[in-house]
Amino acid sequence: MNTSLNYAYYPGCSSTGTSIEYDMSSRAVCAALDIQLNDVPDWSCCGSTPAHTVDHTLSSALSARNLDQVASMGLDSCITPCPSCLANLKTAKHRMEDAGFRDKVNNLLDKPANTQVGTKSVLQILVEDYGVENIKKKVVKPLTGRAVGAYYGCILNRPAELMQFDDREHPMAMDNIMEALGATVVAFPLKVECCGASFGIPRKDLVMRLSGKLLDTAKGIGAMALVTACPLCQMNLDMRQAQVNNANDSHHDMPIFYFTQLMGLALGLTEKELGIDKLCVSPRTVLDAMASEQSVKERAA
């Protein structure tokens, strides 16, 4: 296994707020696996969805500034937990390969944009660079006992030509990790369906319908919890779960973890450092079930 994994790390805005626990757990897990993360100095917003809905040059310019920051660290690639940031940073690099477009972007920047810096997701480097087998070796508290489903969201691996990661219709990265952690993984059919994304505020009704459908499906296949890799997905499914229940009068009580949180637990980290307490839907029952199952196993052993 590669002993000296070392990356520039771009947290993204939501890590300072609504997805703070994703950031915490990502850092904690990487630390536990001796993966060194170096924060991108004075990073700014990638522009997210709103920017590219307004204009592609603006969007790429906002991303380009951060790619420059990475370059200033003397590195040629960085990683981020957030798929939306990932998409923007990758798209910027890709589009700026076209000279005409690059010039337009440079018009908006202080100094000409760097076009060499590539971006990967935390998930991608965990499965590709670190390796599921090696993760397995590090497990101290297997996640036995409860069935989890993996939900990837729409842009983690799409469009395939750009993202270059996992299967575009049936990604398996998180499923494989969860399996390695000892969890029972139920095949989630709507892995790449949209959750309603950034419409939570302007068009809540959309999120209610789409996220509702996801939760129904998850329940339908007997998942007790979902793992996600996306702040927006997690927010829509977790923070808004109560709203969803009201809107569709359903009665979901399904914990929505960041995959890094469950990884952390399996690697023996504390709930505190993984920000488990920051989840809106309480994961207590599920976690306790896992704990008890473990103890059963231990006694049996």
Partner 1 sequence: MKIGVFVCHCGSNIEATVDTAAVAAAARQFPGVAFATDTMYTCSEPGQDEIVAAIKEHNLGGVVVASCTPRMHEQTFRRTVERAGLNRYLFEMANIREHVSWIGKDREANTNKSIDLVRMATEKLTHNRPLYSKKFDINKRVLVIGGGVAGIQAALDCADGGLEVVMVEKTSTIGGKMAKLDKTFPTVDCSSCILGPRMVDVAQHPNITLYAYSEIEEINGYVGNFEIKVKKKATYVDWDLCTGCGICMEKCPSKKATDFFNEGIGKTTAINIPFPQAIPKKAKIDPAFCTKLTKGKCGVCAKVCPSGCINYEMQDEFITEKVGAIVTATGFDLFDWSVYGEYGGGRYPDVITGLQYERMLSASGPTGGHIKRPSDGKEPKNIVFIQCVGSRDKSVGRPYCTGFCCMYTAKQAILTKDHLPESQSYVFYMDIRAIGKLYDEFTRRAMEEYDTKYIRGRVSMIYPKGDKLLVRGADTLMGSQVEVDADLVVLAVGAEAAAGASKLAEKLRISYDTYGFYMEGHPKLKPVETNTAGVYLAGACQGPKDIPSSVAQGSAAAAKVLGLFSKDQLESDPQVSIVDIKRCIGCGKCIKTCPYGAIKETELRGMVKADVIETICQGCGICTSTCPQGAVQLQHFTDNQILSEVNALCQF
Partner 2 sequence: MKVINVNLSYNSDFVTQVEEESGQKLNNCYQCGKCTAGCPYTDEYDIAVSQIMRLTQTGQKDKVLNSKSLWLCASCESCTARCPNKIDVARIMDVLRHMARKEGYIGIHTIKTFWDSFLGSVKNNGRVFEVGLLANYISHTGRFWTDMGLGHKVLPKGKIHFTPSEMQGKKEVTKIFIRFKEESAKCRAREKSREISADSRSPQDEYVPELRLLSRVFKHRNLH
Positions touching partner 2 (CB under 8 A) are: 13-14, 16-18, 20, 42-45, 47-58, 61-62, 65, 104, 107-110, 154-155, 158-160, 168-169, 192-194, 196-204, 206, 209-210, 239-240, 242-243, 277-278, 280
What is the full DSSP assignment across the chain? --S--EEEE---GGGGTTTHHHHHHHHHHHHHTT-EEEEPTT-----HHHHHHH-HHHHHHHHHHHHHHHHHTT-SEEEES-HHHHHHHHHHHHHHTSHHHHHHHHHHSSSPPP---EEEEHHHHIIIIIIHHHHHHH-SS---SSEEEE---SSSS-SHHHH--S-SSS--HHHHHHHHTTPEEE--TTTT----GGGGTTTHHHHHHHHHHHHHHHHHTT-SEEEES-HHHHIIIIITHHHHHHHHT------EEEHHHHHHHHTT--TTTTTGGG-SS--HHHHHHHHHHHHHHHHH-
Residue 250 binding partner 1, by CB under 8 A: no
Candidates 6, 137, 159, 168; binder of partner 1 (CB under 8 A) is: 168
| Binding of partner 1 by 189 (CB under 8 A) | yes
- Is 213 an interacting residue with respect to partner 1 (CB under 8 A)? no
Q: Is residue 222 near partner 1 by the rule CB under 8 A?
A: no
- Among partner 2, partner 1, none, the one that 47 touches (CB under a kind-dependent 5 to 8 A) is partner 2
Task: Please identify, using beta-carbon distances, which residue of 45 and 139 lies nearer to partner 2.
Answer: 45
* Residue 169 binds to partner 1 (criterion: CB under 8 A): yes
Measured from the CB atom, the residue of 74 and 100 that comes closer to partner 2 is 100
Starting at the edge strand found earlier in the chain, the sheet holding 147-150 runs: 184-186, 147-150, 225-228, 256-258
Among partner 2, partner 1, none, partner that 32 touches (CB below 5 to 8 angstroms by kind): none
187 versus 242: smaller Cβ distance to partner 1: 187
- How far from each other are the two terminal CA atoms of the chain, in whole angstroms? 30
Cα–Cα distance, 132 to 129 (Å, whole number):
9
User: Closer to partner 1 at the Cβ: 168 or 284?
Assistant: 168
Q: How far is the CB of 192 from partner 1 (least distance, A)?
A: 9
Count the residues of the shown chain that bind partner 1, applying the rule CB under 8 A: 9
- CA neighbours within 13 Å on the CB side: how many for 162? 17
Cβ pair 92, 55 in contact under 8 A: no
Which residue from 112, 220, 222, 268 is in contact with partner 1, where contact means CB under 8 A? Answer: 220
- Taking CB under 8 A as the rule, which mask of x and - marks residues 127-166 in contact with partner 1? ----------------------------------------
Q: Note whether 76 binds partner 1 by CB under 8 A.
A: no
Cβ of residue 60: shortest distance to partner 2, in angstroms?
Answer: 10
CB of 85 to partner 2, least distance (A): 11
Q: Which does 203 bind (CB under 5 to 8 A by kind): partner 2, partner 1, none?
A: partner 2
Interface residues toward partner 1, by CB under 8 A: 167-170, 187, 189-190, 217, 220
